A and B are shown apart, each in its own frame.
Chain A
Amino acid sequence: GAVVSQHPSRVICKSGTSVKIECRSLDFQATTMFWYRQFPKQSLMLMATSNEGSKATYEQGVEKDKFLINHASLTLSTLTVTSAHPEDSSFYICSAIGQGALNYGYTFGSGTRLTVV
């Protein structure tokens, strides 16, 4: 089955620094990757959709300059939280779809717990 690897699983950073989160499709080519944010005990909030080789499409209210998304290859997308602040602390999850995705829907990474201190 399709596998998506997300790293790191946990990260603690100081306020004002930047953090990069990686999302890799291990055994399929991900034509589209998605980035979600999840607040405690809440559902997933779609932040942006990225297609390989093109600029990400951000959802309304998501600051594109703060959450930089790069999808440079069919197997890798990165989310960089720039100048992080405590309110950016959250659980970030990526997902990906590719060929044969109808059989699997989205394949999710295991998530990244970001804590900004």
Chain B
Amino acid sequence: GDSVTQMEGPVTLSEEAFLTINCTYTATGYPSLFWYVQYPGEGLQLLLKATKADDKGSNKGFEATYRKETTSFHLEKGSVQVSDSAVYFCALWYNNNDMRFGAGTRLTVKP
């Protein structure tokens, strides 16, 4: 079945370091892909999305490109801040309303 695999955390970085969180997917069709962020004690917030191959989603300095050839949607940020500390979820979604989430990757950024 369709699924999402994220790199295991936790990830600990120093402020201003480069961030990559890997996400790959398995799907029979052409899903939309999302990254959600969850800050401590809160629900999930949409960070960015891409709805078709080669689309690049970007927001708040984060970006991810929908790579059909490698079935990937890796999250990147050039310079992380302490405020980026959170759990990040990769997800895929079809119009049949069935969103599949990765296990989540906890990021801690130290000053």
Which A residues are closer than 8 A to B by beta carbons? 6, 32, 34, 41-44, 49, 93, 95, 97, 102, 104-111, 113
Contact = CB atoms under 8 A, between A and B. Distances in A.
B99 A105 contact: yes
Interface in B18-41: 32, 34, 36, 41
B51 A43 contact: no
A108 B43 contact: yes
A11 B55 CA distance: 41
Contacts of B102: 43
B91 A105 contact: yes
27 contacts: A6-B43, A41-B106, A42-B104, A43-B89, A43-B104, A44-B89, A44-B101, A93-B44, A95-B44, A102-B32, A102-B51, A104-B46, A105-B32, A105-B34, A105-B49, A105-B91, A105-B93, A105-B99, A106-B44, A106-B99, A108-B36, A108-B44, A109-B43, A110-B42, A110-B43, A111-B42, A111-B43
A105 B97 contact: no
Nearest to B33: A105
Interface of B: 32, 34, 36, 41-46, 49, 51, 89, 91, 93, 95, 97, 99, 101-104, 106
